[in-house]
Structure 1
Amino acid sequence: MGVMVFPDASSSDRIDQSFKPPLTRYGHNTEVGKSLLSLKSAADSEQKHSTDTARRTKANLRKATGNAKDNVCAAVVVFGAGLALFIVHGITWSSGVLYVVFLDAFNQSRAETAWIGSLLAACGFAASPISSILVNRYGCRFVVMLSGVIITVGMCISTFANNVYLLFFSYGVVAGVGCGFVYVPANVIVSQYFSKRRTIALGLSTCCGGLGSFAFPPLLQVLLEEYSWRGTFLIIGGISLNICVAGALMRPAAVTQSKINVRAKRDLSIFKNIHYHILCWNNVLFCFATSIVYIHLGSFAKISVGINDSQSSMLFSMIGAFTFVGRFGFGLLAQVRTLRPVLIYMIFFLLGGVGTLCVPTMDSFKLLIMYSALFGLAFAALGGALLPSILIDIAGLDSLSFSYGVLILYESIGQVLGAPVAGWIFEKFNSYNPSFYMGGAMVVLSGVMMLVPVVTAYRSTHMIVTEEEFYEEEIEGFYGSKTDTDGRVEVIVSQVTTV
């Protein structure tokens, strides 16, 4: 049996004292010491170079694969968001076709009947803050699938309506809330999946909403002729279930814990930003006019120009067609760094306002078609890639869900008031001219308001982060970077100045 012997303290001390590092043993000034020092420096340099190379390779790999979210999964998400927006915008912005039918079906005043379509859009916008809360808690997929169920229930209940008051609830409130549950998650999920080409991706998904606005008016016209308005509601309810399919395609994007922790503070900070308040009231004014145009343009054209039902639905389809073109085109334009999204946004608001002011002077179907195309471009600026991009510049990507939800709540104020006020004005003066003058003036004013963000909003600033942080975390407003020898990145970004 063997015996293990442990050295005592004195022997341990002797061992420690007998050992000296080579440089200490030979000295720095001896030939051997100088050679050893040279070898050590070369080894340290090689080790640092290897470490830096490995770190840069790792960072570049993350940049090329992990953090460049433009992949097949992201493309499927864009398709899902586009499908949901196609159906929701088709339902919301074709209510002007149904408005004429409801006037004949229920024999109510124009102001009272206008509440049906106005409530649909307004309740959708008002539900957006609730949608934002649900998105932050349960994710975009769940909220979009829930919206499909709610819209279908609202449409099915509407088939049994015998008066406008039940339609206020079933079509206006229930279906409206369902539509409102799509706007925020459809934009948030696309923004999360894309960073470098975000405006293009948003342009692709949101332009599908314009396509829906183009396709639904003639579809409704055909369904109304074949199945009456009750059967039409039932069919649209069945179509709305496809929103559940769209939601299922929205695979949740990865969100880091650090972003979750700071989201609440960033959400509240937007209320200190004057540019956010300007943007909110800009939307209120524009949506007031939008409510007038989408509900009353067809009726105005019938009275003033003498067009038929098919031509009336064609006006709304033209708005939808140019909304489709505008949203995709603005997404491409926003990629040009010299063109700020807020500048494009302001220009087309002003053009849309001037066109709306000219509507009372239009005495032919061709002129109204031209106006519809112009207004479609202005509306594309509101609901396409530009608005989310402006919000991200103001509040950051982490706060997009909250800031967008609150903004859409503001939109509901204008949306719920515009059409009923225009209907009341018609009953008072037997003319739509004052309503369109008022709507046009509001759109022009909304465009002028955006001069403040355009002139004072942007400044350049610098952030210093590690390469690893740079590729793992999104740097908003990224324009360029420069890496120093220590592996840190100087990132040049554009931020909104808080006034």
Structure 2
Amino acid sequence: MLPRDSGGYRWVVAIAAFFTQFIICGITYSIGVFHIVFSKIFNEDHFNTSWIGSILLYSTALTSVVMRFFMVQFGCRWSVILGGLVSALGLSMGMVVTEMYQVYLTFGVLTGIGFGLACTPSIMAVEQHFYKQRMQALSVVLSGVGAGIVVFPILIRTLLEHLAWRGTLWILSGIALNLCVCGALMSPVAHGKQVHLMPLLSCVPLRNITFHGMCIANLFWSFGSTVIYMYLPSYAMDQDSSFETSVFLVSCVGMASFTSRVIFSFMGHNSTLDDMTAILCSIGLGVVITGICPLLFDDYAGQIGYSLLFGFYSGYWTTFLSQASRELLGPECIAKGNGYLSFMIALGSIMAGPAAGLLIQEETEFKYAFYLAGSALLWSSVIMMLFKYQSCGLESFVSEPEKNDLKIPLVDRSQNDCLMKGEPILVEAMVTSV
């Protein structure tokens, strides 16, 4: 067995965090599959059913902020373990629900709280254990997001075929219990190093107009991506695709998103912020996704094409957002504004499903909801591109010599300084929507 202060054990923590993200994001971003299932089981319209997925995403994002005090008090390990227990309880209670509001409370609220308790602490555990290889470790962990989106829709579809929906939720609750195993592997930081979090809601980021723009961009992105994840299988089935092939579209999104993240991570920082790449990927793909969705959905090949485009777009945009925000604001400002960003992501998630559901019922067509989603995604990219090229607020926030320093990851810089001085380590995870 590896010593807990060895370099090898740090990678055990990273692998545990990988599977934490794998389970949480795999189940969470399968909301489109559950949307179809619950609408049929309870014979409800899109508006009423959409609250399930929106509440799940909202609870996950909000809990990751509101329940930070638990992680501060008890550490990452116990936060992830508790998250596994709570989420497993929420999923297992699906065995006894008989009304839609009960699904809101169990699958939506309770499972979301559990996932929120486990999601951010798993990333924080990796940041606490890694210094020089932090970015490589986080890349491994975040690859679990794409892997989960690829695997879980297909897994859930197979379980539904053999065990029906109650049995599926029961099996998923057992899978969620594995979060407890992952949490148990996340040992406290070696050598007794203390880890202090940034303030939850600091006023410092609010002094910079660029941070306001980033909050609005996160709101639009969360809104648009939630609509697509929730209604992509339903839209395909409305165009006469089977349930099995419609579910596969979500996996296609995950595959393209994972590939996009790997490509741009491999190409490096400068390529992601290159003018031509930024315009083509942020604006160009956004225009395409917004404008041609009805044409692509006429046949299954087009539906796969749309899913791949959206997945590649989302993988690039989250990478671009993270790096552009560090360039414009600096990692410390973003870390201090983490709470605001999470609130905006939660707000976009809770509004997206019901708003699109009302539009679908009013117009009796899915394409208008996808026009709405594409427009929201496009606006999020336009906002970030405008701030990137205008550098709004940067000059008033930092002096010229400090701009290049702000591009250095906060955790790497602060941890190196703290290790040299023997001071507590100050860390905070970046928040971006998947």
Question: Counterparts in 2 of 1:190-269, with a 5 A limit?
Answer: 190-253=126-189, 260=196, 263-264=198-199, 267-269=202-204
Alpha-carbon distance between aligned partners in 1 of 2:193 and 2:201, rounded to the nearest angstrom: 15
SS of match in other structure, 1:327: helix
**330, 334, 345: which one pairs with 2:264?**
330
Report the Cα distance in structure 1 between the residues aligned to 2:36 and 2:225, rounded to whole angstroms.
17
Q: Which residue of 2 aligns with 1:87?
A: 23
1:430 aligns with 2:368: no
Rounded to whole Å, the distance in 1 between the matches of 2:59 and 2:274 is 28
Structure whose alpha-carbon radius of gyration is higher: 1
Pick closer, same or farther for the CA change 1:281–1:446 going to 2, 3 Å.
same
8 Å contact from structure 1 (residues 97, 298) kept in 2: yes
Post-superposition offset of 1:134 = 2.8
Aligned equivalent of 1:379 = 314
1:326 deviates by 2.5
- Mapped pair 1:132 → 2:68: yes
Distance 1:143 1:332, change over 3 A: farther
Separation in 2, partners of 1:344, 1:320: 21
**Aligned residues with identical type, % of pairs:** 28
Residue identity matched to 2:359? I
How far apart, CA to CA, are the structure 2 residues paired with 1:411 and 1:396? Answer: 19
The structural deviation recorded for 1:136 is 3.1
- Contact 1:298-1:313 within 8 A present in 2 as well: yes
Match of 1:475, SS state, is helix
Aligned partner of 1:475 among 408, 413, 431: 413
Q: Does 1:76 align with 2:12?
A: yes
1:285, distance to aligned residue in structure 2 (A): 0.4
From the superposition, tell whether residues 319 and 158 of structure 1 become closer, same or farther in structure 2 (CA, over 3 Å): same
Pair 1:171 & 2:107 matched: yes
| Counterpart residue identity of residue 435, structure 1 | A
Kindly indicate whether the alpha-carbon contact (under 8 Å) linking 2:200 and 2:338 is maintained by their aligned counterparts in 1.
no
**Counterpart contact for 1:99–1:114, Cα < 8 Å:** yes
| Number of residue pairs aligned between Structure 1 and Structure 2 | 397
**Distance 1:397-1:188 versus aligned 2 partners, 3 A rule:** farther
Structure 1: which 5+ runs fail to align?
1-68, 464-472, 479-499
- Structure-1 residue corresponding to 2:235: 300
CA distance in 2, matches of 1:82, 1:116: 26
CA distance in 1, matches of 2:275, 2:45: 40
Check the 8 A contact 1:120/1:172 in 2, yes or no.
yes
Task: Note if contact 2:14-2:141 (Cα within 8 Å) is conserved in structure 1.
Answer: yes
Give the aligned partner of residue 404 of structure 1: 338
Change in CA separation of 1:353 and 1:83 when aligned onto 2, cut-off 3 Å: farther
Identify the residue that residue 354 of structure 1 maps to in structure 2. Answer: 288
| Residue type of the alignment partner of 1:461 | P
SS of the aligned residue for 1:283 comes to helix
- Unaligned 5+ residue runs, structure 2? 404-410, 417-434
Deviations 1:171-229 (A, max 9, x none): 01110111122332233333344454443332221111111111011111111111110
Q: Is the 8 A contact 2:269 2:323 kept in 1?
A: no
TM-score (norm 1): 0.72
1:214-251 deviation per Cα after TM superposition (whole angstroms, max 9, x unaligned): 10111111111111101111110000011111122223
1:275 aligns with 2:197: no
Cα distance change, pair 86–341 in 1 and its aligned pair in 2 (3 A): farther
Following the alignment from structure 2 to structure 1, what is the Cα–Cα distance between the partners of residues 22 and 84?
A: 12
Ranges of 4+ aligned residues in structure 1 off by more than 6 Å = 341-346
- 1:141 pairs, out of 57, 71, 77, with 77
Q: What letter matches 2:364 in structure 1?
A: N
Contact 1:356 1:436 in 2 (8 A): yes
Q: 1:98 to 1:138 in 2, by over 3 A?
A: same
Question: Is 1:201–1:331's contact at 8 Å kept on the other side of the alignment?
Answer: no
Distance change >3 Å, CA 276–CA 251, structure 1 → 2: farther
**Which residue does 1:461 correspond to in 2?**
401
Secondary structure, aligned partner of 1:450: helix
Structure 2 match to 1:449: 383
Q: Conserved in 2, the CA contact under 8 Å of 1:266 and 1:399? A: no
Residue correspondence of structure 1 range 16-95 to structure 2 within 5 A = 71-95=7-31
C-alpha change, 1:349 and 1:408, in structure 2 (3 Å) is: farther
Partner of 2:49: 113
Output the CA distance in 2 between the equivalents of 1:226 and 1:399: 46
**Which has the higher relative contact order, 1 or 2, with Cα contacts under 8 A spaced 6 or more apart?**
2
What is the alpha-carbon distance in structure 1 between the residues aligned to residue 210 and residue 69 of structure 2?
23
Q: Deviations over 1:366-405 (max 9, x none)?
A: 111111112112333465x6655566664546973x6334
Please point out which of 109, 116, 122 is paired with 1:180: 116
- Matched with 2:425 is none
**One-letter amino acid matched to 1:87:** I
**TM-score scaled by length of structure 2:** 0.82
